Structure 1
């Protein structure tokens, strides 16, 4: 059997899905427990008083400012999701696109963030499209995220000495991956090459090839240009948030350095495959901050606050939006 012999069709949930659900939950809770233990150990090592003193430097208004910068990132990327979905041919309202995008954050801490594909379920219900037709949307969304993070990281590294030359390969990998994903001819060849090598799983590979062929709609500059600009603005906002937080704590660090540290840590956390980059992102941020002259107590406090105002804030917003998106999509289906 070859990929050409397979016609993609909806697949029923596998019989082992409940077992995998509980296994994923166990992995997630285990990671959270390890993260909590590690955080407590770091606080103990640096001293509760020093860490608490750094945290108390942040006022309620400043904390709201950090949340606002994260919200700007999410709304801008939600607008990009809408732009990409319109180019694909979907005609959902902007408010629904943003709702779907934010609601997907509720599943950020699933392994590999695969749970964020719940957005596709809402779209199929509201549009009547088959899931194969909209599979390119999350691929393009992730590709433009990686491209933007790579571009901003590369620029920040150029303007600062944070992380030295070591951050450049990460930026190059992010941009390179985005280029591959948004070039359908190249992506199809990679999918076909992987299938020829494995000679297994023809149906999933057939779906991947179909999705790869559909990615060409996002390649023209009139689409990729605005999508990339929106992505860059969103991630720069997060770099500004870390910079302001460190300034408020009294750390001597530049905007370029803070942006480099935030983006490199985010990418490093994602490469671990852990839900939400838990553990990896925090460890990378702590190391890079201390390497750039930030005191350990400040680095710990800043890492804790920035993860609350980014990862956990996104999850909180997603949990608020999730039931609304689920209800609206069910009503649309009926």
Structure 2
């Protein structure tokens, strides 16, 4: 067999069970830190008023917000499946969704290990080498960045003061996308880098091959489909954010809510903090305060939307992870 699930596939995982335990530990610790931060904010702002605001949120509203998060996850998993088919990764759609959901278990770990976990499941369970599937990681990141930037542009009219920051991010992501469209532009820098380092020829060759495969995602038809799926997915979470702001009594238009949510996600991703923890919430509260939302309302909205998006995803991932490990193991055994 090409590899077993008990072999090292990720930097800190010696076996599936140990890996699951470590993922749970990381999730619990980071969730505790998030809860402690929310509690501290409530104490500083007045716990009674903070809890009274949260009491305005009906179970139906929370359920609707969670449903919109599921729409986001489902559409992005569909995009990942389309990318996989373009690479010749023949995995059933249901299995793709399971692996994609399992990756959310590691959302709050450094280094985007959730995306690496998805590739690990494809490699250990189905025999697809990392060199072949790495473009899935790149395409997913670029797809999210393009979709979120598009939403920032759609809501920019409500926040004219952030034109230059948004324009800078657009240029940066646009330049990165262009380089992926034309991997030959990166060929010479890679050769120069290898000439300087003089080591790891397989690594540099693998990077060049992965970039070449990633360019296959950017055909007009597939790129447009991926952009529509990603944008619709993130727009669903923008809608959930607007719903909670309305329920809390904040006079915020849908366009403003779209920009606040999308721009906060953009800054959180750029911060390189696990899950954008701290940076996303701070920007979200700051932008809401800038348009006249009372600070305790802004904090409550940030806490709720992050609980129903980020932390809901982590919980879903932890539930899916043992199932995904078991399914991948059975497929690997069947493959012999």
TM-score, normalised with respect to structure 2: 0.86
Alpha-carbon distance in 2 for matches of 1:246, 1:293: 13
* Residue equivalent to 1:50: 49
Q: Does the CA contact (< 8 Å) of 1:111 and 1:274 recur in 2? A: yes
Deviation, structure 1 residue 45: 2.0
| Cα separation, partners in 2 of 1:39 and 1:201, compared to 1, 3 Å | farther
Structure 2: which 5+ runs fail to align? Answer: 1-6
* Residue equivalent to 1:160: 158
SS state at 1:294 partner: coil
* Residue equivalent to 1:252: 251
Query: Residues 132-175 of structure 1, C-alpha deviation per residue, up to 9 Å, x if partnerless?
Result: 11111111111111111111211221x32265323332344334
Deviation, structure 1 residue 193: 4.6
Alpha-carbon distance in 2 for matches of 1:129, 1:68: 32
Alpha-carbon distance in 1 for matches of 2:189, 2:260: 32
Alpha-carbon distance in 1 for matches of 2:46, 2:90: 55
Write the mapping of 1:266-281 to structure 2, written as runs, cut at 5 A.
Answer: 266-281=265-280
Query: Residues 94-147 of structure 1, C-alpha deviation per residue, up to 9 Å, x if partnerless?
Result: 111111111111111110222431111221234322221111111111111111
Alpha-carbon distance in 1 for matches of 2:85, 2:62: 35
Deviation, structure 1 residue 51: 0.9
Point out which structure has higher relative CO (alpha carbons under 8 A, 6+ apart).
2
| Cα separation, partners in 2 of 1:231 and 1:190, compared to 1, 3 Å | farther
* Residue equivalent to 1:240: 239
* Residue equivalent to 2:3: none
Q: Does the CA contact (< 8 Å) of 1:276 and 1:311 recur in 2? A: yes
Write the mapping of 1:1-334 to structure 2, written as runs, cut at 5 A.
Answer: 17=12, 35-157=34-156, 159-161=157-159, 164-165=162-163, 166-196=165-195, 201-334=200-333
SS state at 1:109 partner: coil
| Cα separation, partners in 2 of 1:49 and 1:179, compared to 1, 3 Å | farther
Alpha-carbon distance in 2 for matches of 1:251, 1:203: 55
Query: Residues 216-271 of structure 1, C-alpha deviation per residue, up to 9 Å, x if partnerless?
Result: 21121121111111111111111111111101111011111111111111121122
SS state at 1:251 partner: coil
SS state at 2:257 partner: helix
Q: Does the CA contact (< 8 Å) of 1:151 and 1:175 recur in 2? A: no
Structure 1: which 5+ runs fail to align? Answer: 1-11
SS state at 2:252 partner: coil
Q: Does the CA contact (< 8 Å) of 1:150 and 1:172 recur in 2? A: no
Q: For this pair of structures, how many residues does the alignment match?
A: 321
